[in-house]
């Protein structure tokens, strides 16, 4: 077992990892920017070190500083959380070079899966269904036009190193395609340092369903059910739930087994998420595999009772998985609402600032993952998430009603939040029916 872990992250995920470490008897080291000096993860960790001023580039993306602090504190492992360096091949490799365990998959796996176009080719060989598109990265505009004409418009241009909704454009004809490629290449180069893009058939009227997997170093891979992430705005998830209202047991098993096959094709050895598109005919297609813990992992924990962070740490220690596929049982329904410091009445504009009053919801079946408190100042340099509010019920209807109650209890003053949006969504008839697709928020104006 590790004696000390450095958490290379901030906010609620850093707090979440510290709590898991405490339960395992592991000492923790927090790193923080000057803007985060009063953050909760700094207060909760056994040791804490400032790594720079404010910008992500100088702090939570500063590999040298983080590695140096790990060496200085004699931390045996680094947990990257999500975002920042969590899927950075160079960081994972640097950890290995300095004999520090990177809590995640091997850097070679991150590298292979980080190249979305090449990952698709590997999935194809593993008999995992993929969306029709280009064979790898697009070499030039002429090639993209030929591919688009072959598979038919509309098409979607995607960054090979992309994620988080960045570097994506839909094109309905040749002119739009040429513009989309230029825009995606520029955006991808700016965000990911890699301007390569690839092409896929754009599938309309689809759901976004992801499968949670975990593998160990002994060839064991297990899937822990699905999360439905269909409620999105500009490819950014707003609400997640498990189980998906769209899946029956047969489809759930097929998708789960496909996710396991996908993981085994890469000899996957950590927690990961295989993301699929599901169409109206119940055909599913591989999108990408995320090689980190997801923001929404708590949804899976609520229905399975398995602590994914602790399992991830134990697997990285060299332990075998503590359960088999037959041990995984999904109980009830869990729904997560991301409470962000954004103004839902003003195009979800970010609203950093001081939280004057913060009183989180509670009661049976409610979980709140957060690093916020009364007086906390939300800095403008990072993402705007304040809390993850998760409700659990014996069925979907109870989970929704419990979420409504929890939203009504939640008090956050001083900054605008997405609470009004989520409260309206829980009463929306289409959402409650469970019959919707990723275009839901384009067709239904929740706050009008």
pLDDT, one tens digit per residue, over 132-186 is 899 888 989 999 999 999 999 999 999 987 776 788 999 999 999 999 999 999 9
The tens digit of pLDDT for each residue in 365-403 reads 999 999 999 999 999 999 999 999 999 999 999 999 999
Query: What pLDDT sits at residue 27?
Result: 99
Task: Write phi, then psi, for 214 (nearest 5 degrees).
Answer: -145, 135
What does the alpha-carbon distance between residue 216 and residue 195 come to, in Å, rounded to a whole number?
Answer: 33
Orientation of helix 89-97 relative to helix 107-114, angle to 10°? 170
What predicted TM-score, i.e. pTM, was given to this entire model?
Answer: 0.93
User: Do residues 29 and 49 make contact, with C-beta atoms less than 8 angstroms apart?
Assistant: yes
pLDDT of the residue at 164: 66
- Coarse DSSP helix, strand, coil percentages of the chain, rounded to the nearest 5 percent: 35, 25, 40
Residue 279 has a pLDDT of 95
CATH number of 207-443: 3.40.50.850, 3.40.980.10, 3.40.50.2000, 3.30.470.20? 3.30.470.20
Domain ranges of the chain: 4-103, 132-201, 207-443
- Give the active site residue among 16, 207, 252, 292: 292
Q: Which fold has domain 132-201?
A: Dna Ligase; domain 1 (3.30.1490)
pLDDT of residue 361: 98
The low-confidence residues of the chain, meaning pLDDT below 70, are: 164
Report the pLDDT value the prediction gives residue 30, as an integer from 0 to 100.
99
Question: What's residue 117's pLDDT?
Answer: 78
Say whether 338 is catalytic: no
The CATH number of 4-103 is 3.40.50.20
The dihedral sign for the CA sequence 119, 121, 127, 128: positive
pLDDT at 135: 84
Within 271-320, strands assigned E span 271-278, 284-290
Rounded Cα–Cα distance for residues 220 and 321 (Å)? 7
What is the structure's pLDDT at 121? Answer: 86
Say what the pLDDT of residue 315 is. 98
């Amino acid at each position: 077992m590790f004696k000390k872990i450095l958490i290379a992250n901030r906010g609620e995920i850093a707090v979440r990892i510290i709590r898991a470490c405490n339960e395992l008897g592991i000492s923790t080291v927090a790193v923080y920017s000057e803007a985060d000096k009063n953050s909760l993860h700094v207060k909760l960790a056994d040791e804490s070190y400032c790594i720079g001023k404010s910008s992500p580039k100088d702090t939570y993306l500063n590999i040298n500083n983080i590695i140096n602090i790990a060496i200085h504190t004699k931390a045996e492992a680094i947990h990257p959380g999500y975002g920042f360096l969590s899927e950075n091949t160079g960081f994972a490799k640097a950890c290995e070079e300095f004999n520090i365990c990177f809590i995640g998959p091997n850097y070679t796996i991150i590298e292979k899966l980080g190249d979305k176009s090449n990952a698709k080719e590997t999935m194809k060989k593993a008999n995992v269904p993929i969306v029709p598109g280009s064979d790898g990265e697009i070499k030039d505009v002429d090639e993209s036009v030929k591919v688009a004409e072959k598979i038919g418009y509309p098409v979607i241009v995607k960054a090979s190193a992309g994620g988080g909704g960045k570097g994506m454009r839909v094109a309905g004809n040749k002119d739009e395609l040429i513009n989309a490629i230029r825009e995606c290449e520029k955006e991808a180069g700016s965000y990911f340092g890699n301007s390569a893009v690839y092409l896929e058939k754009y599938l309309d009227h689809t759901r976004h369903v992801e499968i949670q997997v975990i593998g160990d170093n002994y060839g064991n891979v297990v899937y822990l059910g699905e999360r439905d992430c269909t409620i999105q705005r500009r490819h950014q998830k707003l609400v997640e739930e498990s189980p998906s209202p769209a899946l029956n047991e047969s489809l759930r098993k097929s998708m789960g087994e496909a996710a396991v096959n996908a993981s085994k094709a890469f000899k996957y050895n950590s927690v990961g998420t295989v993301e699929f598109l599901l169409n109206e005919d119940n055909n599913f297609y591989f999108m990408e595999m995320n090689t980190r813990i997801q923001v929404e992992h708590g949804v899976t924990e609520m229905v399975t009772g398995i602590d994914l962070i602790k399992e991830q740490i134990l697997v990285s220690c060299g332990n075998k998985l503590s359960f088999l596929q037959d041990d995984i049982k999904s109980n009830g329904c869990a729904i997560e609402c991301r409470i962000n410091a954004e103004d839902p009445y003003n195009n979800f504009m970010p609203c950093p600032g001081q939280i004057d009053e913060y009183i989180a919801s509670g009661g049976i079946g409610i979980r709140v993952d957060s690093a916020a408190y009364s007086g906390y100042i939300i800095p403008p340099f990072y993402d705007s998430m304040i809390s993850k509010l998760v409700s659990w019920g014996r069925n979907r209807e109870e989970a929704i009603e419990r979420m409504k109650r929890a939203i009504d209890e939640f008090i956050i003053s001083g900054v605008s939040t997405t609470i009004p949006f989520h409260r309206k969504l829980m009463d929306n008839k289409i959402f409650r029916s469970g019959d919707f697709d990723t275009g839901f928020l384009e067709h239904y104006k929740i706050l009008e």
